[in-house]
Amino acid sequence: MYEIIGRETLVPNNYLFKVEAPAVARKAQAGQFVIIRIDEKGERIPLTIADWDREEGSITIVFMEVGVTTRKLAQLKAGDFLDNFVGPLGLPSHIEKFGTVVCVGGGVGVAPIFPIARALKEAGNKIISIIGARSKDLLFWEERVREVSDSLTVTTDDGSYARKGLVTEPLKELMEGAEKVDRVVAIGPAIMMKFCAKTTEPFAVPTIVSLNPIMVDGTGMCGCCRVEVGGETKFTCVDGPEFDGHQVDWDLLFARQRIYLDEEKHATECACG
């Protein structure tokens, strides 16, 4: 059993949990994820490791309430326990001194981009960050990301704060600008990652995305997280979650993300009772 030792509502529908999991905290690296199960009847869901504290033995996860399991999770309080908390899973982010790296985080993707930007900064890179949210009240961790970045641009879709528009707009300007960009890392909704990759493709700037297909076991056994990258089948949980965004078959990812839509809708309706 894994105790929730801290809980925060970051913005409406987005929550931060600090979970006591010393074995996971000892090994966690940027880019990896955990698979959690609330109780013995619950389903298993993957959540990215947003931060860790090796001394305290804790892992921070940030999640958005989208369906039955994340709704149940959001109802838990500090002092409650999770039945399962397996990790760290997946390959860590590739961290080295590339030069100038643009880190793009959208929505709840701002949380997983933070430890990657921090690790890349520690490796000596210049970090240009772009984070975006639908509106001001859904934006979180601006200061955290700023602290590990050489510069930060914030966008909101509705213009309620900072620059109005999508994260791809400042990304395109950077691609067209005078400064050489050596790498882009983008994490957020699949559609955002697709368009970040489409934005950088004409400029041939390597662009890493963190894919989020449906997962079950997280160990390469069930095949549920199958994606296609560069014409090859990959299992996101063991071969990823990070891949070359220019090589991803996005349409297949979108289709596979939706395969249980009817069941998820039904489960949500039943749970609402």
Q: Which residues bind ligand FES (CB under 6 A)?
A: 215-218, 220-225, 235, 237
The CA distance from 102 to 63, in Å, is 23
Q: Are 129 and 151 in contact (CB under 8 A)?
A: yes
Coil, strand, or helix at residue 19?
A: strand
Q: Is 189 in the site for Mg ion (CB under 5 A)?
A: no
Q: Is 148 in the site for ligand FAD (CB under 6 A)?
A: no
Interface size with Mg ion, residues (CB under 5 A): 2
**Which of residues 67 and 165 has its CB atom nearest to Mg ion in the complex?**
67
Q: Is 69 in the site for Mg ion (CB under 5 A)?
A: yes
Pairing of strands 242-244, 207-210: antiparallel
* Of 10, 16, 45, 181, the one binding ligand FAD by CB under 6 A: 45
Pairing of strands 58-64, 14-20: antiparallel
- For ligand FAD, the binding residues in 4-33 under the rule CB under 6 A are 33
Q: Are 184 and 174 in contact (CB under 8 A)?
A: no
CB of 80 to ligand FAD, least distance (A): 17
Pairing of strands 45-53, 33-37: antiparallel
Which backbone phi and psi does 129 adopt, to 5 degrees? -105, 150
CB of 237 to Mg ion, least distance (A): 17
Interface size with ligand FAD, residues (CB under 6 A): 25
Amino acid at 258: R
**For ligand FAD, which stretch binds (CB under 6 A), given 39-47, 131-139, 163-171, 172-180?**
39-47
Q: Are 112 and 211 in contact (CB under 8 A)?
A: no
CB of 69 to Mg ion, least distance (A): 5
- For ligand FAD, the binding residues in 109-128 under the rule CB under 6 A are 111-112
Choose the one of ligand FES, ligand FAD, Mg ion, none that binds residue 223, judging by a C-beta under 5 to 8 angstroms depending on kind: ligand FES
